[in-house]
Amino acid sequence: MEGTYWDRVETIQRDGLKKLQLKRLNKTFERAKKSRFYRDRLPETINSLDALKDIPFTTKSDLRSSFPNGMLSVPQEEIIRLHSSSGTTGRATVIYHTRSDIDSWADLVARSMYMTGVRKSDVFQNMMGYGLFTGGLGLHYGSERLGALTIPASSGNSIRQIRLMKEFNSTVIHITPSYALHLYILFQEECIDPVSDLHLRIAFLGAEPYSEETRKRIESLYGLDAFNSYGLSEMNGPGVAFECPVKEGMHVWEDSYILEVVDPETGDLLSDGEEGEIVLTTLKREGMPVIRYRTGDIASVFPGECPCGRTHRRISRIKGRTDDMLIIKGVNLYPMQIEKILMDIPEVGNNYLIEIEKIDYLDSINIKVEVRPEIFHGDIIELENLKKRIVEDLKNEILIHPRITLVEPNSLPRSEGKAVRVVDNRSK
């Protein structure tokens, strides 16, 4: 298929979109009521989308307590796959898919990839973990649906990743932002310049929060266009929201999900432009519909229409999860605020770690920052000045005085999946 859009529904008028949502929502209720969990929690039908706000939220702990199959809405023989969330913040949860669920998911991912400019002629190296995590298989089936040559590289094994990129002239990659920054160090060690020696033109960055400054850094290190990709296993995985070439927010595919933003404290609905917690409802899921799911992710809806012509609303970059918020000396702080400052300083390397502890009963924050090799081994006064600059810039942003330790490149722990940016030792 050629043209600007993968699917006509991308540009559907808002009125038509709302009608479609209401129809699919009522169908979703009918399906969900077959599960033990939703049987008595949902009305038969609603007459207007406004009535959705009176329906109770579904939380992560609901998913955990209905483990393993309290939310299953079809007989098990109709299920062809399960995925499970990473379980970084507690016991894992499980999501079941029918054949048609897997099909709709692949279509949403293909639509998202096509939107960024990927075509059949591309070579797509998928560097996200294959397995229970949805980042690998989710993009895999989408890319095959689109018709690109798909390399199921999975995560890790950096030297092999570089070799694959060179041998098969990969043009598109899917990678976590933290791993992209790390991998660059290996390129330097191998004396390969990704800009001139490779054919990369597009990257999908997702699975963890990162700043606009990190995107820009990755774009310039690799000489490509990086697009933000948002998803969570409870809503399939990747393909929930994706950036278009305008790169001002991610379009949430509203023909497949209902998007709400609520106040994380009160649960009240917020208006477009106001920052709050993203709440999502599946509209096409058969095996395991999930209604008004509290994602824990903090973002806002971009007001106004997107110049790309798509009518589906856009959400801002995810600032973090409600449970990522740190309270240090009484000040509320998201790790992303720190990353934003660090990645804007060219002398700063590609990794950092935030450590928090109590010293004499007071919170203390120490940030270990990797420095570029030539700076680390260079003039000591320049190094001191860099440290002062980091402290000053951070103090202006986070309003507390951090301790900064400048460390050698490639010396901080790293992960091939989601990065661990904060070590909080206060309760120890």
Q: How far is the CB of 249 from ligand AMP (least distance, A)?
A: 12
**Any residues with CB less than 8 A from the CB of 402 and at least 6 apart, and which?**
338, 365, 366, 367, 391, 394, 395
Q: How far is the CB of 232 from Zn ion (least distance, A)?
A: 21
- Residue 101 binding: pick among ligand AMP, Zn ion, none (C-beta 5-8 Å cut-off by kind): none
Compare residues 94 and 232 and give the one whose CB is closer to ligand AMP: 232
Compare residues 164 and 288 and give the one whose CB is closer to ligand AMP: 288
Q: How far is the CB of 123 from ligand AMP (least distance, A)?
A: 23
- Residue 24 binding: pick among Zn ion, ligand AMP, none (C-beta 5-8 Å cut-off by kind): none
- Residue 308 binding: pick among ligand AMP, Zn ion, none (C-beta 5-8 Å cut-off by kind): Zn ion
Compare residues 56 and 309 and give the one whose CB is closer to Zn ion: 309
Q: State how far the Cα of 223 lies from the Cα of 400, in Å rounded to an integer.
A: 36
Which residues of the shown chain bind ligand AMP in the complex (CB under 6 A)? 85-86, 134, 206-209, 228-233, 237, 295, 297, 318, 321
Q: β-strand 123-126 against 172-175: which pairing, if any? A: parallel
CB 396 within 8 A of CB 380: no
**Any residues with CB less than 8 A from the CB of 45 and at least 6 apart, and which?**
26, 29
Q: How far is the CB of 210 from ligand AMP (least distance, A)?
A: 7
Q: State how far the Cα of 345 lies from the Cα of 217, in Å rounded to an integer.
A: 10
Q: How far is the CB of 176 from Zn ion (least distance, A)?
A: 23
Q: State how far the Cα of 303 lies from the Cα of 314, in Å rounded to an integer.
A: 8
**SS3 (DSSP) at 155:** coil
Compare residues 5 and 130 and give the one whose CB is closer to Zn ion: 5
Compare residues 171 and 229 and give the one whose CB is closer to ligand AMP: 229
Compare residues 8 and 428 and give the one whose CB is closer to Zn ion: 8
Structure tokens belonging to residue 345:
């300083």
- Residue 134 binding: pick among Zn ion, ligand AMP, none (C-beta 5-8 Å cut-off by kind): ligand AMP
- Residue 297 binding: pick among ligand AMP, Zn ion, none (C-beta 5-8 Å cut-off by kind): ligand AMP
CB 172 within 8 A of CB 124: yes
Which residues of the shown chain bind Zn ion in the complex (CB under 5 A)? 244, 246, 306, 308, 310
Compare residues 248 and 384 and give the one whose CB is closer to Zn ion: 248
Q: How far is the CB of 89 from ligand AMP (least distance, A)?
A: 9
- Residue 233 binding: pick among ligand AMP, Zn ion, none (C-beta 5-8 Å cut-off by kind): ligand AMP
Neighbours of 22 (CB within 10 A): 19
Q: How far is the CB of 5 from Zn ion (least distance, A)?
A: 11
Backbone angles phi, psi at 332, to 5 degrees: -80, 135
Q: How far is the CB of 169 from ligand AMP (least distance, A)?
A: 27
CB 170 within 8 A of CB 153: no
- DSSP calls for 162-192: HHHHHHTT--EEEE-HHHHHHHHHHHHHTT-
Compare residues 65 and 89 and give the one whose CB is closer to ligand AMP: 89
Q: How far is the CB of 80 from ligand AMP (least distance, A)?
A: 19
Instruction: Give the bridge partners for 96, in sequence order.
Output: 82
Q: What are the counts of helices (DSSP H) followed by strands (DSSP E) for the chain?
A: 11, 21
- Residue 229 binding: pick among ligand AMP, Zn ion, none (C-beta 5-8 Å cut-off by kind): ligand AMP
- Residue 86 binding: pick among ligand AMP, Zn ion, none (C-beta 5-8 Å cut-off by kind): ligand AMP
Q: How far is the CB of 411 from ligand AMP (least distance, A)?
A: 26
- Residue 155 binding: pick among Zn ion, ligand AMP, none (C-beta 5-8 Å cut-off by kind): none
Query: What is the helix (H) or strand (E) element at residue 351, kind and residue range?
Result: strand 348-359
Compare residues 109 and 164 and give the one whose CB is closer to ligand AMP: 109
- Residue 244 binding: pick among ligand AMP, Zn ion, none (C-beta 5-8 Å cut-off by kind): Zn ion
Compare residues 209 and 402 and give the one whose CB is closer to ligand AMP: 209
Residue of 11, 55, 65 lying closest to 33 (CA atoms): 55
Place of tokens 């329906």: 55
- Letter for the amino acid at 297? D
Query: What is the helix (H) or strand (E) element at residue 14, kind and residue range?
Result: helix 14-32
Residue of 420, 218, 12 lying closest to 24 (CA atoms): 12
